[in-house]
Structure 1
């Protein structure tokens, strides 16, 4: 990952945001309130958080103490100690209201191009081991039990839509017990073309709703369903749906979108957004090499 490119993008975005933020009326400070200003700006903090999720280090403490402090002094001359940096993550200049908002907004600027070919899937994000779910308190009231083809899991569910180049188009976080089809209409507001999903997205009502907006939902059929005619190119692209499974694998094993060390919901959301941003900067993303415009017209096939 190019740390210089990340910092330039983040800093430009933060400067634009700061100009807009100054135009919004602020609440007056209470009498005796102290607002200390850190020597590190918020764009530097966000850059380091994003860089961690693409670094390959398993813990942020190792990344900061073994890599950032010894090697990045010239790039970040105002570096603080690890303990102080951890304090800055949730508290830097009213970051409780702003840093998470900045990451969310910045992530939306990193979404990919709508190419007409999209893939949708969801992946579980466990917040603890199943055997400790009854005693879990950090996300109490925010998470729930869910079940997929692998088994039961306790936590959240991340819904993703990507294009054929592996670029993020839309995302949504829900409790693990939310049906995969529920967030689809909201996530696909701006999409057109074809949307490929697994059997969990089969719904005649959902298909008709999306089709009226110019988006065709294509899924595999269940064993108890009748055969239907589909275009051969759609059948080929449906077999390529595994590309989004590779994206989920990159998010979990490279960008570390899932771990059980969170101590607050805010910390979890900051790391989630930073992981998604870090993925957008990966030089090589899972993609497919087939484009309908490059293929001749093909007859429909029974599927």
Structure 2
């Protein structure tokens, strides 16, 4: 885990390159606007937000007031009040999204796909939930019905996130696969939720072989021993989903805006990408090359 000083150096190096290029591409309406710099830089705000998801705190207010304000006051001399910091947080959504894009892993030829639910409230509170009204939807996963969104992930055998997409909770798992697998080089492993002849044919045309398990009432597929072994290793992406929820803390029910939800999710994904010890499969280079060549 990186401390805030190491994290700040990484984020600041990124912002020095990204922010000037981003500002050049922003659309203008012709009116003159003051370009006032905030008391805290974009790098500082991003560092604190990501640092929360790398800490053991489960509540951002306690993290900000009890940890950052108490121990890092000298590192952030222009530290804002808690309420003012919440007001400036939405400004870093675009930089955070770009930063996450730079941290994603590269396809290795052995990728796994899965989705996980992102609940925004308890089921009994759905009728009176207003924050995500018209945006979140009811969906059903392995743990039953939920109200919120789905996070669709593609990861490689090294435990690195290769692609990610957020949809409403009622979107079928197969719908975003074509987009997520756009630049994959070889095989993509998924569970029986991704069974679809049309999807498999579409991916095959793009050079991607979709390999899935089958339902109990279906005949067993003919596949190589290697593919069977890789299907049995799908726990890697389930472990990653578990870490995203319980360590990077991408899911909670206290959101007050869609912007807050997106920033919380992005910062959690960034925090995971910066982890040194990720879940991975012990596959040698010789084994990997033999599979890719085959």
Shorter-chain TM-score bucket reads over 0.9
Which secondary structure state, in structure 1, belongs to the residue aligned with residue 188 of structure 2? strand
Residue in structure 2 matched with residue 43 of structure 1 by the alignment = 43
1:128 matches 2:128: no
| Unpaired runs of at least 5, structure 1 | 299-303
**What's the CA shift for 1:260?**
0.4
**What's the CA shift for 1:9?**
2.2
Q: CA RMSD in A?
A: 2.0
- 1 CA distance for matches of 2:118 and 2:185? 28
Residue in structure 1 matched with residue 258 of structure 2 by the alignment = 265
Residues 166-177 of structure 1: matches in 2 within 5 Å?
Answer: 166-177=159-170
Residue in structure 1 matched with residue 29 of structure 2 by the alignment = 27
Q: What CA deviation, in whole Å up to 9, does each residue of 1:83-109 have, x standing for no partner?
A: 22122213xxxx2xxx21111111010
Which secondary structure state, in structure 1, belongs to the residue aligned with residue 54 of structure 2? coil
| Unpaired runs of at least 5, structure 2 | none
- 2 CA distance for matches of 1:226 and 1:296? 31
Residue 59 to residue 222, structure 1, CA distance change in 2 (3 Å): same
Worse-superposed segment, 46-55 or 17-26: 17-26
Residue in structure 2 matched with residue 4 of structure 1 by the alignment = 5
Residue in structure 2 matched with residue 293 of structure 1 by the alignment = 286
**What's the CA shift for 1:252?**
0.4
TM-score if structure 2 supplies the norm length?
0.93
Which secondary structure state, in structure 1, belongs to the residue aligned with residue 249 of structure 2? coil
- 2 CA distance for matches of 1:38 and 1:296? 50
**What's the CA shift for 1:224?**
2.0
**What's the CA shift for 1:288?**
1.1
- 1 CA distance for matches of 2:289 and 2:14? 43
Residue 287 to residue 245, structure 1, CA distance change in 2 (3 Å): same
Residue in structure 2 matched with residue 138 of structure 1 by the alignment = 131
**What's the CA shift for 1:40?**
0.6
Residue 224 to residue 22, structure 1, CA distance change in 2 (3 Å): closer
Contact 1:114 1:191 in 2 (8 A): yes
Q: What CA deviation, in whole Å up to 9, does each residue of 1:262-287 have, x standing for no partner?
A: 00001111111001001111121111
**What's the CA shift for 1:295?**
8.0
Which secondary structure state, in structure 1, belongs to the residue aligned with residue 149 of structure 2? strand
Which secondary structure state, in structure 1, belongs to the residue aligned with residue 117 of structure 2? strand
Q: What CA deviation, in whole Å up to 9, does each residue of 1:177-230 have, x standing for no partner?
A: 100000000011111111110000001111111112111111111122222321
- 2 CA distance for matches of 1:7 and 1:179? 38
- 1 CA distance for matches of 2:23 and 2:203? 40
**What's the CA shift for 1:22?**
4.0
1:15 matches 2:8: no
Which secondary structure state, in structure 1, belongs to the residue aligned with residue 153 of structure 2? strand
Residue in structure 1 matched with residue 61 of structure 2 by the alignment = 61
Residue in structure 2 matched with residue 242 of structure 1 by the alignment = 235
Residue 182 to residue 89, structure 1, CA distance change in 2 (3 Å): same
- 2 CA distance for matches of 1:131 and 1:201? 30
Residue 251 to residue 215, structure 1, CA distance change in 2 (3 Å): same
Contact 1:233 1:292 in 2 (8 A): no
Which secondary structure state, in structure 2, belongs to the residue aligned with residue 224 of structure 1? coil
Instruction: Give the length in aligned residue pairs.
Output: 289
**What's the CA shift for 1:122?**
0.3
Residue in structure 2 matched with residue 301 of structure 1 by the alignment = none
Contact 1:113 1:169 in 2 (8 A): yes
